[in-house]
A and B are shown apart, each in its own frame.
Chain A
Amino acid sequence: MSSITLKGVEKHYGSTQVLFDCNLEIRDHEFMVIVGPSGSGKTTMLRIVAGLESVTGGEVYFGDRIVNNVDVGDRDVAMVFQNYGLYPHMSVYENMAFGLRRRKLPKPEIDRRVRDAAGMLGISEMLKRRPKQLSGGQRQRVALGRAIVRDPEVFLLDEPLSNLDAHLRVQMRAEILRVHRAVTATAVYVTHDQTEALTMGDRIVVMHEGRVQQVGPPEEPYDRPVNRFVAGFIGTPAMGFLECTLSREGDRAHVEGPGVRIELPPEAAAAVPLPGGSKVVAGVRPEHMDIVPAASVGQDVRSYVTGVVEVVEPLGSEQYVLVDVSGAKLTARTKRDSSIRPDQKVAFAVDGSVVHLFDTETEKAFL
């Protein structure tokens, strides 16, 4: 088994740089999820770990061994591709045995491993079929099977669920985690779907524009995002951002702007190293906004946001309310309330202790 370390990894394609000084340590047996929007460099990073791409700068370690110049076939990695990458001219059995034959394993051993993996994934009945005779979910299982029969040190998965429907995706998420527990290899999983990232990863890496933004347990980027990008990317619907001014009165502080006033708890006020009058960006999550009567604003409710409703999206027991707050767009997640309609003025109470504050220039988080 093996840990993976990336030290100062950079990647250029001609004059275009796609990875910038990426540092990352993936522990032995860990299930690490790399998440980010399209073009963030997450797949490139995975391909570098696999050995399918070379680095332009920096080092990749498996354990304490540098593998920069080790060919993909000699790295003892197995990979599940986005479009499965099954060999169309081979049966399911041959697909799974292909890598083992290359390693010249005895025939009975190959047969045992293929049948064990097929049993684990529920595809024993399909071993003689060709990939084109299988459904999407079955193909994905074969791709997983092909990876686990190898019993690799490192298990790489490149958006393996993106071609499946929503129901199957949930099912396969559990399946992959079950397989990971069984094979106990170090796993690196790439996805653009934050639900997958938050539900599957032991830790997650958030990437943006070729840079590692934050690494930590799944709840960390949600609770304590290090910058405005992470705050906006993790969480559905996304966090809303308000341009505000910081005001200080003794050891108390609040931020305010057009239609906004949020009081900060003393420890938060102390954490922001800026004087009163400074500009800051306040981030409010949709689930931290509660509808209140407009009359209570400024009286009983000391931290609030007021705006005009643009769209209401009913979602069964709850609804998303898109609000225009003096030009800034905020989404609130509230209980189903048919009295809220577009063009209506609304007020929301905001809990100041869960508001995030960011530097307007560096976009780094103060809280």
Chain B
Amino acid sequence: MTAVAPRLDTPDAPVSVPISTRLRRKPWKVAVVAVIVTAGLFWSLAPIYWMVTTSLKNPLEVTRLNPTLYPHALTGQNYGELFGQTLPFSSFLENSVVTSLVAAVIAVAISAFAGYSLSRGQWRLRGFTGQIILATRILPLVVLVGPLYLIFLKTHLLNTYYGLILGYTSFALPFGAWMMKGFIDAVPREIEEAARVDGYGRIGILFRVVLPLTLPGLFTTGAFVFMDAWNNLLYPLTLIDSLKMQTLPPGLLTSFTGQFKTDWGGMMAAACLTTIPLMAAFFAIQRYMVRGLTAGALAGQ
């Protein structure tokens, strides 16, 4: 008999089944998943709901012994007072926006160069340097704040935007550099080599080829730095002592709590407004977020 190669297109080849179909077959699994998802959503959304509803209640309703689930007398009073004469809320907002945005832009610019060098550079101890840079991230913020305070005291950077921006940027850089390295690692080397053959140098390739291809990475890194800076409580609390120069987190903490009374309605209204830029940044980059983190995770491969 003549020997022939076996057929590869056998009829019993495995067929993939969509997840939804597989779940439909087991109702109890659907129920368990639904319960877990509902519990998770409640856990995450309940504080936000409470924050929003409290901000819309009047002071009397906020402090009632039996709390109300929703505002019985809807009011925008808390929001109005934020921009009144008594509180420098708009200064807090402005300080936060300026310092966080500038820190994000600077950190992204430096991270792009650092990430490119860590990814493509051919220099001794590149891997080791990368590890050391990442290791600095292990140090908790609170450990850094003491030395930073002393340095800024000597260099007259306390109570200035420059100091705060420098602090935010230096803390964000290790993570930013590694994140950009992950994104740049994902750019095929052949494309860069094609540009080298076309006559471009390292900087030309970075700006004309690599960075346009890692735009999602730049935005994701920028958003991470922005969120980090926006939420930072310790640095402004330590490095800034004038109320006018405070950013939102310490501003909210110190402006609404007094010795005898806490203005929960006002604090929640301020918290709502504080959250909006963060949520906007998050939704803008959520599509790239997982990709960005994955790229970073695979950087060593």
Show the binding face of A for B, using Cβ within 8 Å: 50, 52, 72-74, 77-79, 81-89, 98-99, 102-103, 146, 150, 310-314, 338, 341-342
- B197 and A78 contact, CB distance less than 8 A: yes
A-B pairs with beta carbons under 8 A, tally? 69
Max count, chain B CB within 10 A of own CB: residue among A83, A89, A313: A89
- A81 and B193 contact, CB distance less than 8 A: yes
Decide if B281 is an interface residue (CB 8 Å cutoff).
Answer: no
Q: Which residue of A lies closest to B197 (CB)?
A: A79
- A102 and B199 contact, CB distance less than 8 A: yes
Q: Which residue of B lies closest to A101 (CB)?
A: B198
- From DSSP, what is the main secondary structure of chain B's interface residues? helix
Minimum-distance CB pairs A-B, first 6: A99-B198, A85-B194, A73-B199, A85-B190, A102-B199, A89-B212
Q: A312-B3, A338-B2, A341-B1 are in contact. Are A87 and B200 (CB under 8 A)?
A: no
Q: Which residue of B lies closest to A319 (CB)?
A: B2
Partner of B194 from A79, A89, A103 at Cβ < 8 Å: A79
- From DSSP, what is the main secondary structure of chain A's interface residues? mixed
Q: A341-B1, A342-B3 are in contact. Are A87 and B194 (CB under 8 A)?
A: yes
Partner of A52 from B1, B5, B188, B193 at Cβ < 8 Å: B193
Decide if B277 is an interface residue (CB 8 Å cutoff).
Answer: no
Decide if B150 is an interface residue (CB 8 Å cutoff).
Answer: no
Bound together, the chains give a CA A162 to CA B169 distance in angstroms of 47
Bound together, the chains give a CA A86 to CA B188 distance in angstroms of 10
| A-B contact list, 30 entries, CB within 8 Å | A52-B193, A52-B197, A72-B196, A73-B196, A73-B197, A73-B200, A74-B199, A79-B193, A79-B194, A81-B194, A82-B190, A84-B190, A85-B188, A85-B191, A85-B193, A86-B191, A87-B194, A87-B209, A88-B213, A89-B212, A98-B208, A102-B198, A102-B199, A102-B200, A102-B204, A311-B3, A313-B4, A313-B5, A314-B4, A341-B1
Show the binding face of B for A, using Cβ within 8 Å: 1-5, 188, 190-191, 193-201, 204, 208-209, 212-213
Partner of B191 from A50, A73, A79, A87 at Cβ < 8 Å: A87
- A77 and B199 contact, CB distance less than 8 A: no
Residues from chain A with a CB closer than 8 A to the CB of B3 are 310-313, 342
- A83 and B198 contact, CB distance less than 8 A: no
Residues from chain B with a CB closer than 8 A to the CB of A311 are 3
Bound together, the chains give a CA A84 to CA B188 distance in angstroms of 11
Q: A73-B201, A341-B1, A341-B2 are in contact. Are A83 and B188 (CB under 8 A)?
A: yes
- B195 and A72 contact, CB distance less than 8 A: no
